Every structure is written in structure tokens, then in C-alpha cells.
A = this chain, B = another copy of it.
Amino acid sequence: MDRLNLLSFTPFRLNRLAAEFSTALTADYARFGIDIPEWRVLATLGMHDGPRSANYVVRCTRTHKSRISRAVGQLTELGLVERQESDDDRREIMLQLTPRGREVYRELVPLLLAREEQLLSGLSAAQRRALDDALLTLEQSLGLMNCQP
């Protein structure tokens, strides 16, 4: 076989599905004036209680540090995130949600989970488990799952 069916080519399929999911979620972000990179910062900080360094967000989300830096700038401008330099390493910038940021997070999470549910609604429970399993295996084999502080 010297031809390639684009529609069954996994990289293309993942790309297209990811794009579809992203644009669906954008509707929810937009309500709060933020976009994908800002959401990633918000989500990472929202997962924990204490502050986390910008670099931690970079490692967790596997997003380029310049993108994170600009997203953080945007979020502080919106008053959702606070920067404060670390005591033990003055290079690090520690980030944490402001009360308003925590509030936005709490409002946003159910919206996004509902959106995810809607997007996955075509899948049976078994299919979801199988998808989750396959994605996890891929993530591990590609080394995407290390997120230690």
C-alpha cells in the first residue's frame, strides 16, 4: 500500500479532534475574557491550594514558557492571579489565584466539565474507559505525565 488515507491517519485525526474540542471550549472561556493558555494557568493553580511557580505550570501543561508568561500577564491584568517573587529563590515567580480568580475558576469548572460531557456523549461507558486507557498509555509512553513540583 503506497497510499495513505488521511482520515485514518492518527496524527491528523488527533489534530482535528483536538481543534474541534478547543473551539467548543472557547465559547466557555470567552465569557470570562480568557483563552486556552490562560485557562491552563487557571486550571493548574486551581488544582492546588498553595501557590505554584510559573515554571511548575510550564512543566505541568507542557506549554512554552513564553506563552505561560504572557498568559500570566493577562490574568494578573484581569485580577485573577497574583504574582509574588519566591523567598528562597528570587528567580522564581510564585503564582496564586486571587479570590476573584478562585471564583472564576469555580464558575468555569462546571461549564467546562459539562462541555466535555457533551462532546463525549456519543461514547458508551466502555468506549470512554478504552479511550482513557489508550490516551493514558500514550501519555506515559511519550513521557507527558511528570508534573512534580
Q: Which residues of A contact B (CB under 8 A)?
A: 2-22, 24-25, 36, 40, 43-44, 46-47, 60-62, 106, 109-110, 112-113, 115-116, 119-123, 127-128, 130-135, 137-142, 144-145, 147
Contacts and interface: CB of A to CB of B under 8 A. Distances in A.
28 contacts: A3-B46, A3-B47, A4-B46, A4-B47, A6-B44, A6-B47, A7-B145, A9-B116, A10-B21, A10-B120, A11-B24, A12-B43, A13-B135, A13-B139, A14-B17, A14-B21, A15-B18, A15-B36, A17-B18, A17-B144, A18-B18, A18-B19, A123-B141, A128-B134, A130-B131, A130-B133, A130-B134, A131-B134
Given A6-B44, A9-B43, A15-B21, A122 B138 contact: yes
A22 B17 contact: no
Contact of A112 (B4, B36, B46, B144): B4
